[in-house]
Structure 1
Amino acid sequence: MKKTNTRRPQGLPTKDELVRFLRDAGEAEKSDIARAFGLKGQERRQLRDMLRELEGEGKLGKRGRKGFSEAGALPPAGVADVVERDADGDLYVRLVKAGSDAPLARLAPDRNEKAAGAPGLGDRLLVRFERVGDAVEARLIKKLGQSAHRILGVIRKSKREIRVEPVDRKAKDVLLISEHEARDRDLKDGDIVLAELAGRPTRYGPKPGRILEVVGREDQPRAASLIAVHSHGLPTGFSEAAEAEAAAAQPPTLKGREDLRKIPLITIDPADARDHDDAVYAEPDDDPKNKGGWIVWVAIADVAAYVRVGSALDREAKDKGNSTYFPDRVEPMLPHALSSNLCSLREGEDRACLAVRMVFDKQGKKTGHTFVRGLMRSAAKVSYEQAQAAIDGQPDDTTGPILDPILKPLWAAYRTMLVGRERRSPLAIETLERKIKLNEAGEVVSIEPRRSLEAHRLIEEMMIQANVSAAETLEQKKSPLIYRVHDAPSQEKIFNLADFLGTIGLRWNKGEPPKTARFNELLDQTRDGPHGDIVNEVVLRTQMQAIYSPDNVGHFGLNLDRYAHFTSPIRRYADLIVHRGLIRALGLGSDGLTDKEISQLEAISEHIVMTERRSMAAERDANDRYVAAFLADRTGAMFTGRITGVTRFGLFVRLDETGADGLVPVRDLGDEFFIHDDRAHALVGQRTGKRWTLGRMVDVRLLEATPITGGLLFEMISEPAPADPNAPRPRLGVRDRAGPPRGKHRPGGPKPGKAGAKKGKRR
């Protein structure tokens, strides 16, 4: 825990003063205590006696390397297991070495950009303990993997024993289950179970365990999302109280609302969308002072009207933080009675909304905006593909009647807004997303690239401008809010980028402040050349991660001074907070942001950052498992891919066909040692100088696909690139050395064993 710098009175302390000192200090040696109180000679001997008495009274902990601490006190840092979750969704950890009698500490939500995913129940963490008032909080330093205290795994039966093998690729602990318990629970090979450590573990071999719950089967088509939900501790379902509140919700009326039903707002969403939380409309501005300008309406579902502060719905929405999306299911933030009904802007039905009317000039600059709390009626529900096809000259029965009066004005307004966007120059990194398609049985039938349409960009830009308007209004009203912030790249990341660009003959001034326009210039310069993909990848890795915060640092990626999430309150708690802020600031009702919420904005921000990371990690893990299941019957097949990660232990390759990521172990890359040149993102042969570099296209063979963990293992087919005569040969350090295992590529040497399929981190 952090040590206090509070000045203390000199002289021998009382016992209570001594305990308070140790509570603040965390741990202290006798000499430190004596120095703090200015004790000398006889007073030091009296201090020694006092410490012995306090130990005898049980008020001091056992002496450690650093001396004395208050009984039950936690060290400044340590390894802890996540063992509990309270009704508010807060996680609690217990120090591993202290056993079951150790006090619990609340885990403060993590805002560390480098944290490896959001923690969940059963995770083992390295944490720092800090005193906050009278309580102690744990702050994440590093996620160490899944704890043996509680483990999600698969039953593996053999003639000799029954094991629980973890589904987490990072976990190393295997639990041994007794035959008696296996019979009582009718455990079968392939059962997915939640288990915990039982009794004292042996020094070697598997640890004894007991089954807490059988959660499914590994051969079920939908096992991937089931495992992700449990392994990341995602809250699922809703309490009876929350369901009852949702069921009791009534359709909206005009009371306290402006009638917007004559405005032909429409929803444009994915074809398979179940909820529709935003609608748009555009028309030319008839103000003669704004010739060539446009009026753009963005209406958002008024979730705040149904999810009231302090209700069961509110508590559980906050606990979840956001909806989580898997290929086969959605874990919604709100019950379906709201998310798919009263809060969904259904075609032809009256719906409560919070809408913003924005005015743009002919140069695409927003010159003003107004928020209203209204009652709307969607004029049409169309998909992105339908809207795009209509604009491209292929309208259907739905889009034909609205093409001229609604769709064409929307596109004309967007193209005007695009002038302003291009002048702003947001970061133009290219990313390729893929959609996993399942059949009715839940089996993967295809993995296809998501098409990027102009219709997507139209909705994106209109939502961005609505989000900016929300932040501007709340700032103008001096109302606290939760911003969506994206910090500029750190100096360290910029230096690393400059070093890398130097290895491919490109220049970047390290003293130049990072600007999106400069990044875009680099991307445009290299996009069509041999280094386009690798530069795009490295620029992406140079960026920080966006978070929620009550403190505004702007949004670097969008190149905006202020930005808040307003447009998706059905699926993001941050947006609901912003809605409540607008309602309070503009006097639009009695259900706005409360004083208590305002006092908790920092804690709420930290919590929803954690839930967002948790959902992202769960979604990524589920997708990895679905992809591994899809490729499992193609073992031995050859694929083309791109090197997306270079490490000391191997290369990560992303397949062109499916976007799947897998590992080529360094031992399979040739008959020499390789040096990891992190500056050039390359593995360089120590003897020949041959190179494996980030971004290079390669051919690989699939060796292993493990659906239960999502791991893929590849064999490299391509040859390394020749040595670069102009590149300096990197020096070999202890952390840089890589190479084949003992015996590999030596005459008569043993064949290499199979490596565990690992996978690179994605940002």
Structure 2
Amino acid sequence: MKSVKRPIELEDIVDMFRELSADTGFPSPAQLLQYVMHHDSRTSLQEIGRHFGVEGEGALDEILRRLCTLEDTGLLESRKGDWYRVPEDVALKEGTVEGSPGGYGSVAIGTADDEAHRIGRSQMRRVLHGDRVLCLVDAGNGGRRMRIKVLGVLNRLQKSLAGEIRVVRGEAMMIPLDSRFCHPVAVARDRHGKASEGDIVNAVLTSAPFAPGPVRARIVEVVGNLMVPGVRTTMALIRHEIPSCWPDDVLKEIDGDRALGESPSPGRDREDLRGLPFITIDGDDARDFDDAVYCSEIPSGWRLVVAIADVSHYVRTGSAIDRQAYARGTSVYFPDKVVPMLPEHLSNGICSLNPKEDRNCLICDISIDRDHEISGYRFYQAVMKSRARMTYDRVEELLNPQHRASSDEDEALLENLRNLESMATGLEASRMRRGSIAFELPESRIDLTEDGRIASIGMRERLRSHKIIEECMLAANRCAAGFLHLNQGDMALYRVHPGPSRDDVLALRRDLRTLGLALGGGAEPDPASYRTLLEQAEGEIQLFGAVQLLLLRSMGQALYTPVMSDHFALGFPAYTHFTSPIRRYGDLVVHRLIKQSLGLPGYRDLQPSVMSLEETCAQCSMTERRADAAVNEVIAWLKALYMLHRIGSRFSGTVTGVKEYGLFIRLDELFVDGLAHVSKLGYDYFVFDEDSQTLYGEHTNVLYRLGDRVKVEVLDVDLDESRVSFSLLDENLFAYSGDRRRKRRRNRYR
């Protein structure tokens, strides 16, 4: 390291520090060095003892012994016998460990903008992700890169871990669920008499940070066995750090908040809309109802009234419920359970627009002209009463031309539905004319058995009723974005979808050429160009599916931001989320901003969130991605378990990705994704062409590309990794004629 004369090798110093760190009754060498670093002007033995709460002559002698050891290493020097400092040529830095899968990690030193410095597996075995550590820095003169050596743990933030029990050479080890904790943890076997191999457990760390030997822990809870489906959901919650239990302060707030028990009533700032025949339209299994809709035909076109649950009336900024809602960010919908953003007393109770009950709501009252363009809107508070809780299937039945109303109330509901259908059909057509991109991706429906396993997988049918609600919500969200920008400018919360980058456009055009298609629009194609491309492929199911996949992969991810910008896929200049405050924190913030803009009492000076708008937008974007990752993880495992009993079965599928190592394939009937390794494509040499993103066989002339239809056999299932492997059937070799053979050859595989 940096030209420091030491009589001891650096690795020996680290080993010595680890031995001394095992005795937690005294400060570790790293903690002593940190204290001296921050008190370098005058640091005496007595001051060090007082800082660490060490008293008595014998205890101070142990501190002195450790200081002398540090002097021997050259990392510390004494002045005038009893004063200490770090030598000028010794570079010590504090940092935070960031673990990564595979056993490697890095230490982030300084500000967030500074580069993280990589550390190897040997150093990572001594620390944990999140540890605050002290490092010796080699500046890397003469063109060498800066290197660091971890000298000890200053503070261990992680007090507990969750993981899977494995028995290794007779010793119980816990494999952490969080892959950033990349080394096994030794646990006292069966301390509760319950934990066995394959169980998921929660454990508290018991070993001293940086001490010799493995990290050790004590089991405090057995969550359940790895093979039980419900446990996989619990694993996902733990792995992705999704809160699922209500803190005591939230429960106390629910019990003590009078507003949660008050009956809604109209007043000076709340209109009475209970006379309008609102309806909710949701899935069969919905329990919370964010939105209700009503539509009437008027001389100039249509009046669409969208009523949204008035969550902000009950959840005040900074309250315990609000802080927990911020932490959760969104409700998470697993196949077997829902983890709500709000306690059920609110989400399924007082906030939910349940049928036949008075409810407070925030209204977006929209005027739509005969050209199906929004001509005006108004936001206001109201009290409403839903006439009926409709399902998508029931609405489809009622919209059947053969259906006849059985009562006056049914006639009012039918008139509402017919107006909604007519209005929504026009809004969709208008949106498409402006270039909105309509993806028609099949969505899987998973039915579970009573014990949480998959009973069946099918395709969720997209009905007219889905489109009706979609257009109503899009219209209300557009109006909310326009209202916020008019009143709040670029200090609000918007939903933004960036357009593809130039590199993404170039890559997309390259891939489209292999399909015989071209994207117009120049260097920066607008949404209408993408819409036109989809229309070119609509006649062929196989081609249309491939184009949709390519377009989706070329686009950025939607996110929340305080600055208004385009929503590329929808083709809207401004967009936000207003319609789901029961299940999305961003929508709740938008409600508060709208009320602030309306100048409603209690909202004029109210902060819309517990944090700044920038932090809130980042939090909402993160929790949305976190929820998606957790749900997809559980679904992937359930599908892998389902396929475990179908090894050897044959299915038809579609190629969804081409890599040099094989084909990614999605089964048509089951929507299960898997990999056919290049060695399982048939008896041929297969060559990957990067330019055309294809694999082709040298002898059979067969060529595989995105969107190709293939027949496969289920070869293997890896439950630990939720991976399904396929082999292609021989009949695929005769699926294409020789004119699809490519002449360019590279990256040969067998």
Band of TM-score, shorter chain: 0.7 to 0.9
**Does the Cα contact within 8 Å between 1:191 and 1:214 map onto a contact in 2?**
yes
Structure 2 residue 646 is the aligned partner of structure 1 residue 637? no
Structure 2 residue 338 is the aligned partner of structure 1 residue 330? yes
Which of 410, 431, 434 pairs up with 2:441? Answer: 431
Letter in 1 for 2:528: A
Match of 2:479 in 1: 469
How far did residue 537 of structure 1 move?
1.1
Match of 2:365 in 1: 357
Match of 2:513 in 1: 502
Q: Which has the higher contact order (CA 8 A, sep 6+)?
A: 1
Structure 1 657/57 Cα, relative in aligned 2: closer, same or farther at 3 Å? farther
How far did residue 236 of structure 1 move?
0.8
Q: In structure 1, what is the Cα distance between the partners aligned to 2:550 and 2:353?
A: 40
How far did residue 187 of structure 1 move?
1.9
State the secondary structure of the residue aligned to 2:573. Answer: coil
How far did residue 686 of structure 1 move?
6.3
How far did residue 578 of structure 1 move?
0.5
- Note the 1:579-594 alignment, pairs <5 A: 579-591=591-603, 594=606
Q: In structure 2, what is the Cα distance between the partners aligned to 1:295 and 1:540?
A: 34
Letter in 2 for 1:71: K
Q: In structure 2, what is the Cα distance between the partners aligned to 1:297 and 1:695?
A: 42
**Cα displacement string for residues 350-374 of structure 1 (whole angstroms, at most 9, x for unaligned residues):** 1010001100111101000011111
Structure 1 490/188 Cα, relative in aligned 2: closer, same or farther at 3 Å? same
Match of 1:254 in 2: 266
State the secondary structure of the residue aligned to 2:94. Answer: coil
Structure 1 300/543 Cα, relative in aligned 2: closer, same or farther at 3 Å? same
Structure 1 208/97 Cα, relative in aligned 2: closer, same or farther at 3 Å? farther
Q: In structure 1, what is the Cα distance between the partners aligned to 2:94 and 2:415?
A: 71
Structure 2 residue 513 is the aligned partner of structure 1 residue 513? no
Match of 1:215 in 2: 223
Letter in 1 for 2:659: T
How far did residue 699 of structure 1 move?
1.5
- Note the 1:41-52 alignment, pairs <5 A: none
How far did residue 461 of structure 1 move?
0.6
Match of 1:33 in 2: none
Match of 2:389 in 1: 381
Q: In structure 1, what is the Cα distance between the partners aligned to 2:310 and 2:601?
A: 12
**Does the Cα contact within 8 Å between 1:257 and 1:374 map onto a contact in 2?**
yes
How far did residue 525 of structure 1 move?
1.1
Which of 172, 184, 195 pairs up with 1:175? Answer: 184
Which of 530, 535, 553 pairs up with 1:524? Answer: 535
Which of 452, 459, 468 pairs up with 1:442? Answer: 452
Match of 2:290 in 1: 277
Q: In structure 2, what is the Cα distance between the partners aligned to 1:614 and 1:660?
A: 22
Letter in 1 for 2:657: G
**Does the Cα contact within 8 Å between 1:155 and 1:164 map onto a contact in 2?**
yes
Match of 1:653 in 2: 665
Match of 2:125 in 1: none
Match of 2:141 in 1: none
**Does the Cα contact within 8 Å between 2:519 and 2:530 map onto a contact in 1?**
no
Match of 1:90 in 2: none
Which of 182, 189, 194 pairs up with 1:186? Answer: 194
Structure 2 residue 168 is the aligned partner of structure 1 residue 155? no
TM-score calculated relative to the size of structure 2: 0.75
Q: In structure 2, what is the Cα distance between the partners aligned to 1:648 and 1:266?
A: 53
**Cα displacement string for residues 217-267 of structure 1 (whole angstroms, at most 9, x for unaligned residues):** 223232231221111111112112212323431232223311111111111
Which of 656, 666, 675 pairs up with 2:678? Answer: 666
How far did residue 182 of structure 1 move?
3.2
Structure 2 residue 590 is the aligned partner of structure 1 residue 578? yes
Letter in 2 for 1:664: A
Q: In structure 1, what is the Cα distance between the partners aligned to 2:98 and 2:623?
A: 22
Match of 1:478 in 2: 488
How far did residue 679 of structure 1 move?
3.1
How far did residue 177 of structure 1 move?
4.3
How far did residue 585 of structure 1 move?
0.4
How far did residue 723 of structure 1 move?
8.1
**Cα displacement string for residues 627-661 of structure 1 (whole angstroms, at most 9, x for unaligned residues):** 12222211211111111122233221111111011
Which of 552, 555, 573 pairs up with 2:567? Answer: 555
Match of 1:457 in 2: 467
Letter in 2 for 1:468: R
State the secondary structure of the residue aligned to 1:525. Answer: helix
Letter in 2 for 1:603: E
Structure 1 279/79 Cα, relative in aligned 2: closer, same or farther at 3 Å? same
State the secondary structure of the residue aligned to 2:645. Answer: helix
Structure 1 360/636 Cα, relative in aligned 2: closer, same or farther at 3 Å? same
**Does the Cα contact within 8 Å between 1:673 and 1:739 map onto a contact in 2?**
yes
Match of 1:71 in 2: 93
Mean Cα displacement is larger for which, 688-697 or 549-558? 688-697
How far did residue 446 of structure 1 move?
1.3
Q: In structure 2, what is the Cα distance between the partners aligned to 1:213 and 1:62?
A: 49
**Cα displacement string for residues 352-400 of structure 1 (whole angstroms, at most 9, x for unaligned residues):** 1000110011110100001111111111111111011100134787994
Structure 2 residue ranges without an equivalent (≥5): 1-36, 39-74, 115-127, 132-157
How far did residue 697 of structure 1 move?
1.3
State the secondary structure of the residue aligned to 1:224. Answer: helix
Letter in 1 for 2:539: D
Q: In structure 2, what is the Cα distance between the partners aligned to 1:681 and 1:494?
A: 15
Match of 2:121 in 1: none
How far did residue 517 of structure 1 move?
1.7
Letter in 2 for 1:518: S
Structure 1 72/390 Cα, relative in aligned 2: closer, same or farther at 3 Å? same
Which of 432, 440, 450 pairs up with 1:422? Answer: 432
Match of 2:279 in 1: 266
Letter in 2 for 1:697: R
Structure 1 652/149 Cα, relative in aligned 2: closer, same or farther at 3 Å? farther
Structure 1 483/715 Cα, relative in aligned 2: closer, same or farther at 3 Å? same
Q: In structure 1, what is the Cα distance between the partners aligned to 2:488 and 2:511?
A: 44
State the secondary structure of the residue aligned to 2:190. Answer: helix
Match of 1:410 in 2: 420
Report sequence identity in percent. Answer: 34
**Does the Cα contact within 8 Å between 2:77 and 2:87 map onto a contact in 1?**
no
Structure 1 702/592 Cα, relative in aligned 2: closer, same or farther at 3 Å? farther
Match of 1:491 in 2: 502
Match of 1:680 in 2: 692
Mean Cα displacement is larger for which, 430-439 or 682-691? 682-691
Q: In structure 1, what is the Cα distance between the partners aligned to 2:310 and 2:244?
A: 24
Structure 1 residue ranges without an equivalent (≥5): 1-18, 21-50, 83-94, 109-121, 126-147, 741-763
Structure 1 651/728 Cα, relative in aligned 2: closer, same or farther at 3 Å? closer
**Does the Cα contact within 8 Å between 1:175 and 1:208 map onto a contact in 2?**
no
Structure 1 221/592 Cα, relative in aligned 2: closer, same or farther at 3 Å? farther
State the secondary structure of the residue aligned to 1:535. Answer: helix
Q: In structure 2, what is the Cα distance between the partners aligned to 1:372 and 1:306?
A: 16
State the secondary structure of the residue aligned to 2:655. Answer: strand
Q: In structure 2, what is the Cα distance between the partners aligned to 1:198 and 1:423?
A: 64
Q: What number of residue pairs does the alignment pair up?
A: 622
**Cα displacement string for residues 684-712 of structure 1 (whole angstroms, at most 9, x for unaligned residues):** 34677643212111112212234454221
Structure 2 residue 319 is the aligned partner of structure 1 residue 311? yes
Structure 1 596/396 Cα, relative in aligned 2: closer, same or farther at 3 Å? closer
Match of 1:534 in 2: 546
Q: In structure 2, what is the Cα distance between the partners aligned to 1:570 and 1:107?
A: 36
**Cα displacement string for residues 574-598 of structure 1 (whole angstroms, at most 9, x for unaligned residues):** 0011000000001123146735849
